[in-house]
Amino acid sequence: MSTIATTVLQSSKPPITPLDFNANQPQTIRLYPLSNYTFGVKETQPEEDPSVLARLKRLEEHYTAHGMRRTCEGILVCHEHNHPHILMLQIANAFFKLPGDYLRPEDDEVEGFKSRLDERLAPVGRLGEGEEAGDWDVGDCLAQWWRPNFETFMYPFIPAHVTRPKECKKLYFIQLPKSKVLSVPKNMKLLAVPLFELYDNTARYGPQLSAIPHLLSRYNFEFVNENGEVVALTPGSGPSAGPRPQVKVLAGDDVDMKNENGTQ
């Protein structure tokens, strides 16, 4: 029987402590675990248009009557295994979109947007049971996409030759509370998609959704467990206002577990 010797290689150079990288820190967002949220289904919400051509025709009619169409969609973020996940809808097992929709011509932007979020995600029958209509924390506008003509293409800028865009779509960050009940129409699926799945994946999700990781890079994150404790945070983000992360022993001697977990 042969013996294998293990050699530990160490650098001859001492470790270098870098300078602080905490100046002008971005806003810190607290993310709650996916398990904090309850999901259900409600009545089917059929698509208003049977085809892409019909949708563009309706856009043209809207523009003729009311001018540029205003659309708002929400970026709802939670976490699973300390990695941000985006809640989005899937229609017909193929088409992905964020919750939200176009605003009615008479709608105030934010209040109209909250109503559209309710239509997509508010549970039926729970309004009046401690939950209020429009109970959404609408945060920063993270992006604007412009539709220059009556066609499917949208751009994150207004092309130089366009003076009258036909639609403006705003993507808003929605701060999810510690817990919430969400219901999705029966003909749709509500998915939690990790950022690494969206990143640089225009082939599957298109340019708008695949750009979300870029949009969220402006924030630092605190990842909170089911007990409300901060268990992870963006490296270099400085001191956390919540509890500091601790080592949690998953198996071993009871005494060691008590010591490591900070209990007596």
95 lies in some domain: yes
126 lies in some domain: yes
Assign residue 20 a region (left: φ > 0; alpha: ψ between -120 and 50; beta: otherwise).
beta
Query: How many domains would you assign to the chain?
Result: 1
74 lies in some domain: yes
Per-residue confidence in pLDDT tens, the chain, 264 aa: 455 555 556 677 888 888 877 788 889 999 999 999 999 899 998 888 888 899 999 999 999 999 999 999 999 999 999 999 999 998 887 789 999 999 999 999 999 999 999 999 999 875 545 567 889 999 999 999 999 999 999 999 999 999 999 999 999 999 999 999 999 999 889 999 999 999 999 999 999 999 999 999 999 999 999 999 999 998 866 544 444 433 323 232 343 434 444 443
What is the distance of C-alpha 57 from the center of its chain? 31
- Tell me which residue range forms the domain holding 193: 28-229
C-alpha closest to that of 84 among 31, 35, 29: 31
7 lies in some domain: no
83 lies in some domain: yes
Helix (H) or strand (E) holding 254: helix 254-260
Q: What are phi and psi of 172, to 5 degrees?
A: -105, 140
CATH number, domain of 186, equals: 3.90.79.10
